[in-house]
Every structure is written in structure tokens, then in C-alpha cells.
């Protein structure tokens, strides 16, 4: 199965993210090609609950978290389903990446179809800053630079 999101936002960030899963229960491969990021920068990258972009990225809801856990890193057991960590841009402000995730899915209870993928304005501390509530909810990853609804391709 394959899904895609076309990202746009108020910060000149745009691009495409593709999600592929060979079978239910298998890893999801995530391939992204984004432009318009600050050069040599690291940004939080998450799946948000809602596919509602009527108010721009701000109406996409919170991180997708059906198990009601604290924010964490992609490799953590305790994490939001939507916690995909960080992406990095090159010297030209482009981010071309491939990653895999074992928690999100393109079907079943943890399906991300119809939800929103978001690139944030700050680095995601992966819930490790322990400086208050924001680290356990968002990883202090800041505003939403770009977003796109995930649809079946």
C-alpha cells in the first residue's frame, strides 16, 4: 500500500512525503523531498491527528497519540504513534530523506491515512529536555512550518 502527502505552509517549506507498507504489520518506509527549509537545520517531523486543514496547519490537531503516551523518539516504546523524530536540511535548505517506522501503519488501528504530516519550525527534543509539559507533548518542536493530508496513492 502507498500513501502520499503534498506539504505546503506559511514558511516557504513545501514538498512531498511518500509512505509505503508492503503488508499489514510491516515497517512503513517514509521518503521525503522538501524544499524551503533554513540551510543546515533540523526540524521536528510528526503525524497529527486530524486531516482538517481549513485553518491551515493549525487545525491539524495534536500529535497522533491513540495510546495516550508521552512524546518520545521514533525508537522509544513510550511515544506518540505520530512521533517521527527530526529531519535535516542540507546547505541549500533541501531535505531528502528515507526512514522507516514500526509504529505507524497504512491500515488498522494506527493508520495514518487521512491524518496530517507536519514539519515544525524547531528541533524536536524527543521528550528528553524534561523542562516541563511541552517536552512531553510536542518535544518543544515549535510552530507548524508546513503540512499535508496523507491520502492513498
Reported as type and span, the H/E element at residue 3 is strand 2-7
DSSP E strands, 8-143 = 14-21, 28-35, 42-48, 54-57, 83-88, 95-101, 116-120
Catalytic one of 43, 46, 79, 115 = 46
Catalytic one of 63, 101, 115, 125 = 63
80 catalytic? Reply is: yes
| Strand, coil or helix: 152 | strand
68 catalytic? Reply is: no
How is residue 38 written as a grid cell? 533554513
Catalytic one of 79, 115, 120, 124 = 120
Reported as type and span, the H/E element at residue 133 is helix 133-137
Find out whether 99 and 47 touch, Cβ atoms under 8 Å.
no
> What is the spatial distance between Cα 89 and Cα 136, in angstroms, rounded to a whole number?
25
> What is the spatial distance between Cα 14 and Cα 37, in angstroms, rounded to a whole number?
9
Catalytic one of 48, 101, 115, 125 = 48
Catalytic one of 43, 79, 83, 124 = 83
Q: What is the set of active-site residues?
A: 46, 48, 63, 71, 80, 83, 120, 144
Amino acid at each position: 500500500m502507498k500513501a502520499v502527502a503534498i506539504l505546503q505552509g506559511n514558511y516557504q517549506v513545501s514538498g512531498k512525503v511518500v509512505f509505503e507498507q508492503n503488508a499489514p504489520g510491516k515497517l512503513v518506509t517514509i521518503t521525503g523531498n522538501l524544499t524551503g527549509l533554513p540551510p543546515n537545520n533540523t526540524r521536528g517531523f510528526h503525524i497529527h491527528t486530524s486531516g482538517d486543514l481549513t485553518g491551515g496547519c493549525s487545525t491539524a490537531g495534536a500529535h497522533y497519540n491513540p495510546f495516550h503516551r508521552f512524546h518520545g523518539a521514533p525508537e522509544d516504546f513510550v511515544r506518540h504513534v505520530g512521533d517521527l523524530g527530526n529531519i535535516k536540511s542540507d546547505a541549500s535548505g533541501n531535505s531528502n530523506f528515507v526512514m522507516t517506522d514500526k509504529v505507524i501503519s497504512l491500515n488498522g488501528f494506527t493508520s495514518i491515512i487521512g491524518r496530517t504530516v507536519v514539519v515544525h519550525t524547531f528541533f524536536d527534543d524527543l521528550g528528553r529536555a524534561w523542562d516541563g509539559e511541552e517536552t512531553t507533548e510536542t518535544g518543544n518542536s515549535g510552530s507548524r512550518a508546513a503540512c499535508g493530508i496523507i491520502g492513498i496513492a
